Amino acid sequence: MRQQAETWIREVAVQCGLSADSVMAKPNKPSPIDPKKRIELEYLAETFMYAPRPLAKWTLPEGTHQRVRNRVYTGRLPVRVEVISDDESWLDAFVNAFIVTLPPKRADADNNLVQIRVEKATRDGFTGNRTEVFVRRSNSLHLTFEWMLCKETDLPLIRKVQFTPKTKEA
């Protein structure tokens, strides 16, 4: 799910005007060659919860089996998206555009529903009216990706029924 989440975040960032190379995993130490306007991703602990539930039933085209799709687990991945810039007005405009552009629901590779929510935002680096030499302002968005882990089973259908009458002899 991490790769899929990073791909979706990168797509939204590009739609909002940031280059695809500016979206990166959070480095251990900041580097002077990093882009001035960038997004750093930090993945928190992934959690799973056992939550079985039937989702769908349909007959296969051959007509011999019925496929049943059941949810077995739900997964949750919190991601901290830190938008960094030295321009305060660009940062505010970009964060608002990012939140609006982020889709609330997507489908993953297995065609399962993934819900994306912005939980909270934390601003950092905004000081008073003092003169600052190295300005580093950031806005951290806490996103949550929730998805399902499903299992599909095929059940044979009864196509032919043959009754055999039983008679009692007296």
Q: What is the mean pLDDT of the chain?
A: 87
pLDDT in tens, 60-92: 888 888 999 999 999 999 999 999 988 888 889
State the alpha helices, DSSP H only, in the chain.
2-15, 88-101
**In whole angstroms, what is the distance from residue 91 CA to residue 102 CA?**
16
Q: What is the CATH number of domain 2-156?
A: 3.30.2000
Q: Are 141 and 81 in contact (CB under 8 A)?
A: yes
Give the pLDDT confidence score for residue 77 in this predicted structure. Answer: 96
Q: And the tokens for 52?
A: 């079985």
Give the pLDDT confidence score for residue 134 in this predicted structure. Answer: 59
Domain ranges for the chain: 2-156
Q: Which residues contact 16 (CB under 8 A, 6 or more apart)?
A: 94, 97, 98, 101
Confidence of residue 106 (pLDDT cuts 50, 70, 90): very high
Q: What percent of the chain has pLDDT over 90?
A: 53
